[in-house]
């Protein structure tokens, strides 16, 4: 039981990463590799700030700002520097590794004996693992509400239009470069927050904790889509969180089969690959009838 609660808690925390990537991957239609650098950056900044005596909340906000700064760099390389987005992301991700080492001064920093968001009074009173679940739900709720509001504003609609049809967006006077930079900043800011929270939950920050994050983020998005079918935009945001939780449950189940934690990245990729291929096999295997009763398949 505690394993399931723990998986749900992790799923909720990591869902912030999925939501962040959703903005760029699904709305702007670009694959932003920067997240592999901004996730550990958020962790490095938050842990270093906490160790230096800042409150966990302030430290988390610093992590968000650091992520946004990295997103800004990627955005400028992509829009003004005309560098392909995949390459721009890889450049910033690689550079971030050195920056993260500079921030921490070493490759691993522990939070042992320091305060974290999870040690806040109302969370500390909760039974084991439920603190993470509660914190995750709180943050996800705040972020989802802000995103839902944002996407329904004039600015948000211009943002969506940029990813949907850039040429049209331009012909309507939307500054598409600014929209892309904004999207990359907000997205990576969220990833920074996620890194900050995960490091506080784990109790340490590690320079290599970013490896595989993009796969985890994609898994949340795609599992959500495969599991829930055609949805409205607001529902799709919720589906990402659900996808993230399902992904953690799948991983937990696989680990129970006897795989070790060292196999995690292999398993992550495997789970994602299977989910991405699922739509192709759906028809042949009649999975539609099994999985999505009553939900129309995308044509």
Partner 1 sequence: MTKPILELKDIVTLVNKGTSNETEILKKLNLTINEGDFITIVGSNGAGKSTLFNVIGGNLPVDDGHILLHGNDITHQTEEERTKFLSRVFQDPKLGTAPRMTVAENMLLAQKRGEKRHLIPRKLKQQMTDFTRIAGIMHNGLEDRMNTATGNLSGGQRQALSFLMATLKRPDIILLDEHTAALDPRTSQNLLNATNERITEDGLTALMITHHLEDALIYGNRLIVLGDGQIKADFKGEEKQQLTAEKLYEYFEA
Structure token digits, residue 145 = 């509400």
Q: Is 155 or 215 the residue whose CB approaches partner 1 more closely?
A: 155
Among residues 113, 173, 258, 294, the one that binds partner 1 under rule CB under 8 A? 173
The answer to whether the CB of 222 falls within 8 A of the CB of 243 is yes
Cβ atoms of 79 and 181 within 8 Å: the answer is yes
> Nearer Cβ to partner 1, position 165 or 292?
165
Which position among 17, 63, 143, 161 is part of the footprint of partner 1 (CB under 8 A)?
161
Question: What is each CA distance from 203 to 53, 113, 206, in whole angstroms?
Answer: 15, 9, 10
Per-residue binding string, partner 1, 59-98, x by CB under 8 A, is ----------------------------------------
Q: Does the footprint of partner 1 cover residue 231 (CB under 8 A)?
A: no
Under the binding rule (CB under 8 A), the answer on residue 135 touching partner 1 is no
Residue 175 binding partner 1, by CB under 8 A: yes
Q: Which one of residues 97, 150, 204, 291 is an interface residue with partner 1 (CB under 8 A)?
A: 150
Identified binder of partner 1 from the candidate list 160, 186, 218, 222, rule CB under 8 A: 160
Q: Which is nearer to partner 1, 94 or 234 (CB)?
A: 234
25 or 39, CB closer to partner 1? Answer: 25
CA of 250: how far to CAs of 126, 196, 243, 281, 282, in Å?
25, 24, 10, 20, 20
Establish if 184 lies at the interface with partner 1 (CB under 8 A).
no
Does residue 148 belong to the site contacting partner 1 (CB under 8 A)?
no
- Nearest partner of 14 among 151, 214, 207, judged by Cα: 214
Sole binder of partner 1 in the list 1, 113, 127, 154 (CB under 8 A): 154
Estimate the crossing angle of helix 56-79 against helix 35-51, to 10 degrees: 150
Of 139 and 161, nearer to partner 1 (C-beta) is: 161
How many residues at the interface with partner 1, by CB under 8 A?
22
Q: Between helices 154-164 and 176-202, what is the axis angle to 10°? A: 100
Query: 53: alpha, beta or left, given left = phi > 0 and alpha = psi -120 to 50?
Result: left
- Please, are residues 187 and 32 in contact by the beta-carbon 8 Å criterion? yes
Binding site residues, partner 1, CB under 8 A: 149-150, 152-158, 160-161, 164-165, 167-175
């Amino acid at each position: 039981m505690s394993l399931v609660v723990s998986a749900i808690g992790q799923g909720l925390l990591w869902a912030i990463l999925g939501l962040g990537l959703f903005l760029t991957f699904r709305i702007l239609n670009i694959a932003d590799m920067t997240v592999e650098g901004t996730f550990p950056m958020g962790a490095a900044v938050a842990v270093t700030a906490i160790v230096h005596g800042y409150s966990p909340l302030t430290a988390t906000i610093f992590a968000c700002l650091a992520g946004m700064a990295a997103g800004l760099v990627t955005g400028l390389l992509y829009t003004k520097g005309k560098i392909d987005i995949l390459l721009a992301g890889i450049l910033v991700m690689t550079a971030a590794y050195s920056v993260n080492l500079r921030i921490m001064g070493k490759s691993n920093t522990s939070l042992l004996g320091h305060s974290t968001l999870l040690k806040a009074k109302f969370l500390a009173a909760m039974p084991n693992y439920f603190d993470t679940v509660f914190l995750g739900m709180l943050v996800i709720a705040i972020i989802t509400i802000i995103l839902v509001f944002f996407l329904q504003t004039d600015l948000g609609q211009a943002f969506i239009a940029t990813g949907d049809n850039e040429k049209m967006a331009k012909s309507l006077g939307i500054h598409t470069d600014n929209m892309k930079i904004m999207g990359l900043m907000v997205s990576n800011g969220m990833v920074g927050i996620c890194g900050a929270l995960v490091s506080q939950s784990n109790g340490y920050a590690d320079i290599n904790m970013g490896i595989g994050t993009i796969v985890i983020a994609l898994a949340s998005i795609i599992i959500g889509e495969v599991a829930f079918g055609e949805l409205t935009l607001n529902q799709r945001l919720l589906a990402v969180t659900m996808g993230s939780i399902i992904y953690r449950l799948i991983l937990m189940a696989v680990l129970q089969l006897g795989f070790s934690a060292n196999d995690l990245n292999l398993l992550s990729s495997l789970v994602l690959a299977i989910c991405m291929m699922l739509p192709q096999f759906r028809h042949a295997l009649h999975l539609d009838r099994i999985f999505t009763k009553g939900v129309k398949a995308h044509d």
